[in-house]
């Protein structure tokens, strides 16, 4: 059998334990098993889920985001499937690319990864051009995210926002604030492919 993430061949020894144990939905090689999981932590008033440390998949994300190698996004398909089996949400949305960068690249990589991994989502937010997070004043960043005019109704109590990497969390938290203004008393969670601590 092959690793669900890196596609490396897995040599599994037969034993009473693995013969009679419950079948795993995700098969990982030793290296991936050490680094990949469905992690869960609290970030202020929000729950953050992430699959691994950024260093482990840095090259994958870089190739997807900047070189358009979207096919590598299929690596996350079984992780998304298992995550959505374990956790249920009324609606899933994504962090929007700013219009200028999306026009230059020709795509929103998070949108394409979700589509490739069969994750049903709804676009709820839009974003005007913004500089890199480190250069942005907090108030200006908040003003860059806006709700789309055709945002769905009021009955969404559990909302998931998907992004590629959690660093400072400013982008996700500011997206969440816009949604909280629309969906009163909602519970917002984040899911990112990777987590990295802000070094500032």
> In this model, does residue 62 exceed pLDDT 90?
yes
pLDDT (tens digit, 9 = 90+) per residue, 160-187? 999 999 999 999 999 999 999 888 889 9
Percent of the chain with pLDDT over 70: 82
Q: Which helix (H) or strand (E) holds 139?
A: helix 138-144
Confidence at residue 106, expressed as pLDDT on a 0 to 100 scale: 79
Question: In terms of Cα–Cα distance, which of 64, 139, 137 is closest to 107?
Answer: 64
Q: Is 187 helix (H, G, I), strand (E, B) or coil?
A: strand
Dihedral sign, Cα of residue 137, residue 138, residue 139, residue 142: positive
For the residues 38-61, what does the mean pLDDT come to? 97
pTM: 0.85
* Domain regions of the chain by residue span: 1-35, 36-195
Give the pLDDT band of residue 157 (cuts 50, 70, 90).
confident
CA distance 51 to 39: 6
Q: Which fold has domain 36-195?
A: Rossmann fold (3.40.50)
Characterize the bridge pairing of strands 158-166 and 187-195. parallel
Question: In terms of Cα–Cα distance, which of 45, 49, 47, 48 is closest to 37?
Answer: 49
CA distance 196 to 32: 17
Question: In terms of Cα–Cα distance, which of 80, 77, 88 is closest to 189?
Answer: 88
- Radius of gyration, alpha carbons of the chain: 18
For 113, residues 6+ apart whose C-beta sits below 8 A from its C-beta are 64, 70, 73, 76, 119, 164, 193
């Amino acid at each position: 059998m092959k690793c669900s993430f890196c596609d490396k061949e897995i040599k599994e020894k037969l034993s009473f334990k693995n013969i009679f144990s419950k079948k795993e939905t995700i098969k990982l090689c030793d290296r991936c098993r050490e680094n990949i999981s469905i992690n869960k932590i609290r970030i202020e008033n929000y729950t953050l889920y992430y699959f691994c440390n950024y260093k482990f998949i840095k090259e994958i994300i870089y190739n997807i985001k900047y070189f358009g190698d979207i096919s590598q996004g299929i690596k996350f398909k079984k992780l998304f499937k298992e995550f959505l089996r374990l956790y249920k949400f009324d609606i899933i949305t994504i962090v929007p690319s700013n219009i200028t960068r999306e026009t230059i690249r020709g795509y929103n990589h998070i949108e394409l990864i979700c589509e490739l991994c069969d994750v049903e989502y709804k676009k709820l937010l839009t974003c005007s051009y913004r500089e890199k997070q480190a250069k942005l004043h907090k108030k200006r960043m908040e003003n860059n995210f806006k709700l789309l005019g055709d945002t769905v109704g009021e009955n969404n109590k559990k909302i998931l926002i998907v992004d590629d990497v959690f660093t400072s969390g400013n982008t996700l938290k500011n997206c969440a604030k816009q949604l909280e203004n629309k969906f009163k008393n909602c519970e917002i969670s984040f899911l990112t492919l990777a987590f990295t601590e802000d070094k500032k």
